[in-house]
């Protein structure tokens, strides 16, 4: 099983600032990496797939990068609606999720 490790567990950011979230895979997943956003009592929402392609309707302030084992999700200027938990997920071999990064208001 490919283990996905996200850091940090919690990120405190002020509105308007940049947020950088990391995701590491225990072995290479190529570009088969997605990011999801989850708000309290809601289902996850697909943000990014293929490591860097935004899903339909996702604002340009969300960007993804990386390949192999190291990936990054960047939110260029945090809006109030962006405070949530973010999960990475690999789909190169079965499907496994990271444990999540909570982005909270500083």
Site residues, another protein (CB under 8 A): 1, 32, 34, 36, 42-46, 49-50, 53, 55-56, 87, 89, 91, 94-100
Residue number, 33 or 75, with CB nearest to another protein: 33
Task: Give the nearest distance from C-beta 65 to another protein in angstroms.
Answer: 17
Q: How far apart are the first and last CA of the chain?
A: 35
Cα distances (angstroms) measured from residue 64 to each of 1, 40, 42, 106: 23, 23, 22, 23
Instruction: Supply angle C-alpha 19, 8, 41, rounded to 5.
Output: 80
Residue number, 9 or 16, with CB nearest to another protein: 9
Backbone angles phi, psi at 92, to 5 degrees: -80, -35
Residue number, 13 or 55, with CB nearest to another protein: 55
Task: Give the nearest distance from C-beta 53 to another protein in angstroms.
Answer: 8
Task: Give the nearest distance from C-beta 78 to another protein in angstroms.
Answer: 22
Task: Give the nearest distance from C-beta 15 to another protein in angstroms.
Answer: 26
Query: What number of H helices and E strands is found in the chain?
Result: 0, 11
């Amino acid at each position: 099983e490919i283990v996905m490790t996200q850091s940090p567990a919690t990120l405190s950011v002020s509105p308007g600032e940049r947020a950088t979230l990391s995701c590491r895979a225990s072995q290479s997943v190529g570009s088969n990496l997605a990011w999801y956003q989850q708000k309290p009592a809601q289902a996850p929402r697909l943000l990014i797939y293929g490591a860097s392609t935004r899903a339909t309707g996702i604002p340009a302030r969300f960007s993804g990068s990386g390949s192999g084992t190291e990936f990054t999700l960047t939110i260029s200027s945090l809006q109030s609606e962006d405070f949530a938990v973010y999960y990475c997920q690999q789909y190169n071999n079965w499907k496994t999720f990271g444990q999540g990064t909570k982005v909270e208001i500083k």
